[in-house]
Every structure is written in C-alpha cells, then in structure tokens.
Amino acid sequence: MTEHHKPETAWNIEFDDESTWANGLVGSVGTHTVGESVGLGFVFRSKDYGKDPPLPQDHQERYQTLRDHTRYVGKYAIAEDPSSGNILFREQHSGPSLLVKVTPESDVTTPGLWGLISSYSDETVLPDVVCEVSIDLDILAPADEYPSHDDVRSDFQMRGL
C-alpha cells in the first residue's frame, strides 16, 4: 500500500511543450549522480496547499499532463561518448519528448534533475481526491546546469543517424 505524505514541497515538471506541478513526492529523492536512474513518485492532490493565487488547473488536469508524456516511455537509446565520457541520447519515437526537468518549487536542499522518462506506473486509487504517478528517470544532468531543453539537447543528443 502506498504511504501518503502531506506534501511539503511542490515539484515542477517541465516538458518541452508544457509543464505541470505535483503537490509533492511519495518518499524522497535522495542523492543521485549523472548516469543513474531515480524513481520519483508524484502526488497530485485536489487541494492547492497554499498556492496563491490558486492555479487554474485542477489536480486531475495536472496529473493528466504527466500521463500524456508517458506513452513512449523508454523509447530512446543511450550511449557514452568515448571522447568526453558524457551520456548521449536519441529518442526513438515521434510523440512528445521524454526529456524532462523536475525541480522542487521552494528553496530546499534537494536538487532538481534533467532526465529521460524510462518507465512509469500509475498508483491512483481515488482520482477525485489524489492521483499518484511514479516515473523512473535516467539522469542526464543537475537541473541548475542547463536552463532549457534546447541546452540539454545541445550537449546530450546524439548527432547523425
């Protein structure tokens, strides 16, 4: 059974074409490095918990924004650049990009991440009250090192075929 925590920190989830926010996480992020995978369980609650002004999207719309970007999870290739040692990726689908930036909304010590969504699971039981989606990310970089999706692609996207 999933342990529900009252969110303390909202998380921004930024895709290429849109963004959303979750009220909080189930569990914690911990410390991870580039090249590792991390599992993040996002909670979308029916209450805004202090958002002022309240956002126009309700929790189910915010949840659905994340779900809409999970159709092609894991459809990318990763390789190590032999000259730089950097991780490179190439998406292998024509849908929404799996490249995502996740950052805590408030000033906390937990770092944000740039990554690719490798898998997801939906643990939603009571959608009118709370929705939960867990995603696994292959970490490409700390969020504070790259301001945009284009900057991440410039350094990490495979060139050529």
Q: Give a yes or no: residue 6 inside a domain.
A: no
Q: Which pLDDT band, with edges at 50, 70 and 90, does 1 fall under?
A: very low
Structure-token pair, residue 53: 């002004």
Q: How many domains does the chain have?
A: 1
Q: Give a yes or no: residue 1 inside a domain.
A: no
Residue 158's nearest CA partner among 92, 74, 96, 72 is 92
What are the residues facing 142 on neighbouring strands? 113
| Residue 149 zone, left/alpha/beta (φ > 0; ψ -120 to 50; rest) | alpha
pLDDT of amino acid 55: 55
pLDDT of amino acid 133: 93
Distance of CA 132 to the CA centre of its chain: 13
pLDDT of amino acid 73: 93
Give me the mean pLDDT over the 104-113 stretch.
80
Structure-token pair, residue 32: 């991870």
Q: Is cis: bond before 53, omega within 30 of 0?
A: yes
Question: Can you give the residue range of the structural domain that contains 144?
Answer: 11-156
Q: Give a yes or no: residue 117 inside a domain.
A: yes
Q: Give a yes or no: residue 161 inside a domain.
A: no
Which pLDDT tens digit goes with each residue over 71-92? 899 999 999 888 888 899 999 9
Q: Give a yes or no: residue 5 inside a domain.
A: no
Q: Give a yes or no: residue 76 inside a domain.
A: yes
Give me the mean pLDDT over the 86-111 stretch.
88
